[in-house]
Structure 1
Amino acid sequence: MTNCPLCKSEARHFQWFREMEYLQCDGCSALFLHPRHLPSPQEEQERYKEHNNDVEDPGYQKFVAPIVDSVLQDWPPQTSGLDFGAGTGPVISKLLGDQGYNLRLYDPFFWKDPAPLEDRYDFIVCCEVVEHFHNPEKEFRLLSGLLKPGGRLYCMTEAWDPSVDFQRWHYKNDPTHVFFYHPHTFRWIRDNLGFSGLELQGRLAVLRK
């Protein structure tokens, strides 16, 4: 038996794709890659280096706009922010920096200094990050603990629900995308990992401390 890496409920076989098995959690409805297929840290880093994340690319800037616009609406520039999983091109920090914000950066591969994880923040942005979590329970507990009371966590990811044709779904084709969130999954996170509120806005999930 394999348990969900988020809520620890029992998971059952969901589908195979390219000789890799995906499971579905009976508790929080998440889909995830079977642990035996998880990429190594070296494989992850090589894949991330292939991303063409040019902070000046208008298309990339448009892609991250839902997070940027939400932060601009919710917080003034003097508040504290963290770009968690900033990657090779921290475009959100660049765009918010242009508006007077100052975000700190953390990424386990590209911004490895752990000092930002010792502070607390009004808001945290995670753009195309949470689907990479091998241990989402641990990561969301960390993120919750990094927020000040009343703070917000902005997660942009492509959620899954039964209307999605999994075999044709492009999002699971990236080998580093290993955990997929159903709306129920985010509700479980809200209710169990130190959050008090949740807003689901398309690809954007906002968890309130």
Structure 2
Amino acid sequence: MVCSLCSGPTSWFYNFRNKDYYKCEKCASILLHPKFFLSLEQEKARYEEHNNCVDDLGYQRFVSPIVNAVKENFDNKAKGLDFGAGTGPVITKLLSDEGFNLALYDSFFWNNPKVLNSQYDYIVCCEVIEHFRNPLKEFKLLRSLLNPGGIIFVMTEIYSEDIDFRKWRYKNDATHVFFYHNDAFKWIKDNLDFSRLDINGRLIELER
């Protein structure tokens, strides 16, 4: 099996709940073998179980790094996209409350392909990219949606070698199929023609 991001060779890494994970020898990411992916119906049902109320203060605090990053880089005249907005688009809610303009897209809950025919000054993608079954295809799409100088703001948990994968709770969600290493984001920057990469904990910025 080759890596679904960088096409590097992979080797078997871990078995969890009878599912096999592989590690890319090129970008160091961890990926679930595709034969263990949920059906799309199962995946949607799992998302519908999430308690993503946009008025929940804990949820608002959780997304605050990405909200603050948008406000630090853009004013409310900029055009944004909430990609993978889910059942409770809290980032869009918080930014809209301050006059920002964002379109919503989610293949399950906001499936409006017309918004993918526009370009945006920024894209927010919070707790989404770990669900990408074909991360190379998705990151190519995201970059194509950016205006020159635009930024993708991503939040996810990044895998590193000091993590005990056996105890890592992030892998336990059956909809999480790809875990990015810092080297993966460097590969995305260099190979998909981004001008800047900034990694600050769980917040990643990729600028076109």
TM-score of the aligned structures, taking structure 1 as reference length: 0.99
Structure 2 match to 1:146: 145
Q: Given that residues 154 and 206 in structure 1 are in contact (C-alpha distance below 8 angstroms), is that contact kept between their aligned partners in structure 2?
A: yes
Report the secondary structure of 2:142's partner residue. helix
Identity %: 53
Alignment correspondent of 1:164: 163
Task: Give 1:194 deviation, angstroms.
Answer: 2.7
Which residue of structure 2 aligns with residue 104 of structure 1? 103
Aligned to 1:8: 7
Amino acid at match of 2:59: Y
The answer as to whether partners of 1:152 and 1:206 remain within 8 angstroms in 2 is yes
- Report the Cα distance in structure 1 between the residues aligned to 2:123 and 2:63, rounded to whole angstroms: 14
* Structure 1 equivalent of residue 183 of structure 2: 184
Contact 1:141-1:194 within 8 A present in 2 as well: no
Alpha-carbon offset, residue 196 of structure 1: 1.4
- Match of 1:93, as an amino acid? T
SS at match of 1:72: helix
**Runs of 4+ with deviation above 2 angstroms:** none
Counterpart CA distance in 1 for 2:61 and 2:71 is 15
Matched, 1:17 2:16: yes
> Residue 5 of structure 1: CA displacement?
0.4
Give the Cα separation in 2 of the matches to 1:76 and 1:57.
25
Match of 2:67 in 1: 68
Q: Secondary structure at the match of 1:155?
A: strand
Structure 1 gaps of 5+ residues are: none
Partners of 1:24 and 1:190 in 2: CA distance: 20
The match for 1:116 is 115
- Superposed CA RMSD in Å reads 0.5
Q: TM-score by structure 2 length?
A: 0.99
C-alpha distance in 2, partners of 1:41/1:191?
A: 32
Q: 2:48 and 2:38 mapped to 1: Cα distance? A: 15
Query: Which structure 2 residue ranges, 5 or more long, are not aligned?
Result: none
1:156 offset after TM fit, Å?
0.2
The residue number in structure 2 matching 1:58 is: 57
Aligned residues: 208
**What secondary structure sits across from 1:143 in the alignment?**
helix
Q: Distance in 2 between matches of 1:154 and 1:181?
A: 15
Residue 25 (structure 2) aligns with:
26
Deviations 1:67-100 (A, max 9, x none): 0000011000000000000000000000000111
2: CA distance between counterparts of 1:76 and 1:115?
24
- The one-character-per-residue Cα deviations of 1:134-157 (angstroms, maximum 9, x if unpaired) are 000000000000000000001100
